[in-house]
Amino acid sequence: MDYILDVQSIHTFIGQYHILQGVDVQVPRGSITALLGRNGAGKTTTLKSILGLTPPREGKVTFDGRELNGMRSFDIAALGIGFVPEHRAIFRDLSVEENLKIAERRKGDLDRKREMIFSLFPDLKRLIGLPGTSLSGGQQQMLAIARALVPDNRLLLIDEPSEGLAPVIIEHMMDAIRQLSKESTVVLVEQNFLVASQLAETYVIIEEGRSVTSGKMSDLKQDKATIHRYLGAA
Amino acid sequence: MTQFLRKNLILILTLAAFLAVFIAAGQGMERKDFVITLLRGLSVGSLTFLVASGFSLIFGLLDVLNLAHGTLFMIGAYLGWTVYVRPDTFVDVLTPLALLIGGFTLSALWTKLSALLPASARTNKIFPWALLLVAALLAFTVITRYPISSWDTENFSQAPGSYSLMLDQGAPLAPPAVSFDKINPALALLGLLLASSLGAFGLSLFGQQTQSPKLTVKEFIPFGLLALIGFGAFAANDALTAFLTGLSNNWLFLIALLVATLSGIGLGALMESTLIRPLYSRPIYQLMLTLGMSAIGIEVVRAIWGRPEFVMPKPDIFSGSGQGCPATTLAAWWDKNCSIVLLFEGRVRVYNEIFIPLVGILVLIAVWILLQRTRLGMVIRAGVQDREMVEALGINVRRVFTLVFALGVGLAALGGILAAPSMGLSNAMGESLLLNALIALAIGGLTSYPGAALGSLLVGLLQQFMIKYGQIGIAIPFTEIIFKPTPPIVPASTVLLMVIILLLMPNGLLGKKE
């Protein structure tokens, strides 16, 4: 199997806390993979460890055949990894346009992608001149995803895209993620199992800092016992 | 609109109160006093702003409270003074300085070379230290024998102040002649380059060689430039000195402004990349480091330029006098370059009260454009809010940190040399400015650029109006009492203003809620 991202038993410490105690994630190229698990299981830390924002102390992360250990996080991102963080991290002091523009890695990235972004998120077109603060939660989420699309990213790490959004907007956002997964591979952290199960093809469940099980989403949907054990009532 | 009003109610009321107090303050004095006090406030505000804006940029992006900022302001003043009053010293220093820095710009080459060393030398902890020690000894040996025409702080007739004073009176002292009698020139140049290379090589051994950098022509450009300056200044030492001494002192002053600012930028870059960078994860150590740097900076200045305060003559364009002065029109001023012009019958000193505020406003606009209209500015604004996200976008935040620190120190150094002709040079000149700047930032909002400008303006105006009212007294309404603020009230008044503002708006006037 062709994995674009291969995380092998990483251990990550934040301060003195041993947060990740052996996480394995294999992401097939072109798929949507969901990281599942309860609150505080270590899903977000896994994403940050991949990006080098919280560098793993042990284990190995390989992206497209290249080992990422020891690289600085901006060099890792520049290899073609987009990040949509949990709380969107829209820059308040920048306009919507600037929020997209800052993600450019080469001059003209935004102009090349503008049409594609507006077709995914038509709302952004009329918001483009506004300051980043004036957006609603849903619009901020759109912008955060759009920002990750500006450069040519081969992998997108999306953290809790549905958090705090109204159902209608969640539908819209799921459509958008399906669309963009045609262009690049997606790793999704999602608390909402309904959303994750509809989007993802493969899954990894993380429990107390360890990856406990993984496989095809279609199998997991049948496996009520596993869902109940690791994800609570779903 | 109404929403905007409601959101900013306290801010609007506060600003309205300021305006009311300001107008009231104007009623209590003659118009000429008012104009002069206003301009002096602008002047102090501008100098404060030059310190405060850099301080706030650095704090906003890097989370570093740079307590050495006031000292760097002072160093800027002394460096600029040296270029202006002793251009020959400046030219003499260029060669050793450029050659000493030169080796350190070749870090890519050293990293490459260190890979060739046997493994035992690379893992040996003592080896790099030994290299550094040899480099330092070599540099010391050469520098102490290198001929630099300077001043003598022990000898009054050759003290920096005397050079300044005699230059101001139109009879500049002749600098002492120096020559290569203690060391062979070729040996000196070679020794400096060798010391710098050994030192840089030693430093490169401390780092981890995970990936070896590519050696491109681009890597050699800084070294090429420095070598050009170093050897150029060596070969054409006399010609360069004659050229600078022959320049009108207006041009020389401009060069002094430039050199001070650029040195500040260089010093800032050096400080960030060597001292601050290893301590980003330990803020307390950083605070102690900048405090220590501040003390060291003051001692270095004392060792080189001495303790006594001295003046710096103003350039000719701001120091005309005699027939036709003080000027009353712009044309008359341009004709005579009067040091004083009459504005609403008030005697306004052109340099202190017009030139300094003008430079302040220019810098305000220039940095504003940098922040709002360039990619670097965009990254800075984004980084102030969320560094991690900027990094996750693939942007080298470390490099931006160095740039911002360098820029901030550059602004402080510019402030220093700008202040020197009006304040004079003293070891303590930076401390009061840093205090002013901190108060201004607390008032305006710690990480807000417009806040730094507004806070500096308020602090400057308040101080100057207090000083003026200390002379003429405030008539308390409905009473016979005339209240004269005493000198200690001047600094206390700005602190009081800060306390009031912080009680009303804990984030300062234009600060953002965290």
Residue of A nearest to B388 (CA): A53
CB contact under 8 A, A74 and B512: no
Tell how far CA A68 is from the center of its chain. Answer: 17
Q: Enter the ipTM.
A: 0.91
Phi, psi torsion values for B18, nearest 5 degrees: -60, -45
For A195-229, how does the pLDDT look when each residue is reduced to its tens digit (9 = 90+)? 998 999 999 999 999 999 898 988 888 888 888 88
The pTM for the full model equals 0.90
Q: Residues B88, B92, B93, CA angle at the centre, nearest 5°?
A: 120
Q: Residues B441, B428, B265, CA angle at the centre, nearest 5°?
A: 65
Q: What is the pLDDT of residue B211?
A: 57
b/e code B164-194 from CB counts within 10 Å (16+ = b) = bbbbeeeebbebeeeeeeebeeeebbebbbb
CB contact under 8 A, A70 and B392: no
Q: How far, in Å, CA of B56 to CA of B412, rounded?
A: 11
- Interface residue B397 vs chain A (CB under 8 A): yes
- A195–chain B nearest CA distance, Å: 25
- A152–chain B nearest CA distance, Å: 12
Q: Let me know: does A143 contact A149? Beta carbons within 8 Å.
A: no
Chain B residues in contact with A78 by the CB 8 A cut-off are 394
Q: How far, in Å, CA of B171 to CA of B153, rounded?
A: 20
CB contact under 8 A, B393 and A92: no
Q: How far, in Å, CA of B257 to CA of B243, rounded?
A: 18
Helix extents (H) in B146-184: 160-168
Query: How many alpha carbons fall within 13 Å on the CB side of residue B310?
Result: 25
Q: Let me know: does B293 contact B275? Beta carbons within 8 Å.
A: yes
CB contact under 8 A, A93 and B381: yes
pLDDT by 10s per residue, chain A, length 234: 788 999 999 999 988 899 999 999 999 998 999 999 888 889 999 999 999 999 999 999 999 988 998 888 999 999 999 999 988 889 988 999 999 999 999 888 999 989 999 998 988 899 998 988 888 888 899 999 999 999 999 999 999 988 888 888 899 899 899 988 888 999 999 888 889 989 999 999 999 999 998 989 888 888 888 888 888 754
Q: How far, in Å, CA of A50 to CA of B27, rounded?
A: 66
Size of interface A-B (CB pairs under 8 A): 58
- A73–chain B nearest CA distance, Å: 6
Q: How far is CA A7 from CA A22, A51, A69, in A?
A: 10, 11, 11
Chain A residues in contact with B395 by the CB 8 A cut-off are 74, 102
The position carrying tokens 């939660």 is A137
b/e code A110-146 from CB counts within 10 Å (16+ = b) = beebbeebeebbeebeebeeebbeebeebbbbbbbbb
pLDDT by 10s per residue, chain B, length 514: 677 777 788 888 888 888 888 888 888 788 888 999 999 999 999 999 999 999 999 999 999 999 999 999 999 999 999 999 999 999 999 999 999 999 888 888 888 888 787 777 767 778 888 999 999 999 999 999 999 988 988 888 889 999 998 888 888 888 888 888 888 899 999 999 999 999 998 888 876 555 566 778 888 898 999 999 999 999 999 999 999 988 998 999 999 999 999 999 999 999 998 899 889 888 899 999 999 999 999 999 999 999 999 999 999 899 888 887 888 888 888 888 888 888 888 888 999 999 999 999 999 999 999 999 999 999 999 998 899 999 999 999 989 999 999 999 999 999 999 999 999 999 999 999 999 999 999 999 988 999 999 999 999 999 999 999 888 888 777 777 888 888 888 889 999 999 999 998 889 998 876 5
- A88–chain B nearest CA distance, Å: 9
Q: Let me know: does B17 contact B25? Beta carbons within 8 Å.
A: no
Q: How far is CA B444 from CA B187, B382, B459, in A?
A: 55, 20, 10
Chain B residues in contact with A91 by the CB 8 A cut-off are 381-382, 385-386, 389
CB contact under 8 A, B392 and A77: yes
CB contact under 8 A, B382 and A53: no
Residue of B nearest to A104 (CA): B393
Chain B residues in contact with A89 by the CB 8 A cut-off are 386, 388-389
**Could you check whether the bond before residue A151 is cis, i.e. omega within 30 degrees of 0?**
no
- Interface residue B407 vs chain A (CB under 8 A): no
Which of A53, A78, A93 lies nearest to residue B385, judging by beta carbons? A93
Residue whose C-alpha is closest to residue A111's, from A125, A101, A120: A101
CB contact under 8 A, A83 and B392: yes
Q: How far, in Å, CA of B74 to CA of B412, rounded?
A: 8
Query: How many alpha carbons fall within 13 Å on the CB side of residue B438?
Result: 13
The position carrying tokens 């080992």 is A67
Q: What is the pLDDT of residue A19?
A: 92
CB contact under 8 A, B384 and A93: yes
Chain B residues in contact with A93 by the CB 8 A cut-off are 381-382, 384-385
- A151–chain B nearest CA distance, Å: 9
CB contact under 8 A, A74 and B391: yes
Helix extents (H) in B396-428: 397-423
The position carrying tokens 């991949």 is A50
Find which of B389, B396, B447, B449 to mutate to test the A interface (most A CBs within 10 Å of its CB): B389
Q: What is the pLDDT of residue A234?
A: 47
Q: What is the pLDDT of residue B297?
A: 96
The single-letter code of the amino acid at B38 is L
CB contact under 8 A, B391 and A151: no
CATH numbers and ranges of domains, chain A: 3-89+153-231 (3.40.50.300)
C-alpha distance across the termini of chain B, in Å: 24
Residue of B nearest to A87 (CA): B389
Residue of B nearest to A48 (CA): B392
3-state secondary structure (DSSP) of residue B464: helix
Instruction: Work out whether strand A81-84 and strand A66-67 pair parallel, antiparallel, or are unpaired.
Output: unpaired
b/e code B259-285 from CB counts within 10 Å (16+ = b) = bbbebbbbbbbbbbbeebeebeeeeee
DSSP string, A54-112: S--SEEEEEETTEE-TT--HHHHHHTTEEEE-TT----TTSBHHHHHHTT-SSTTHHHH
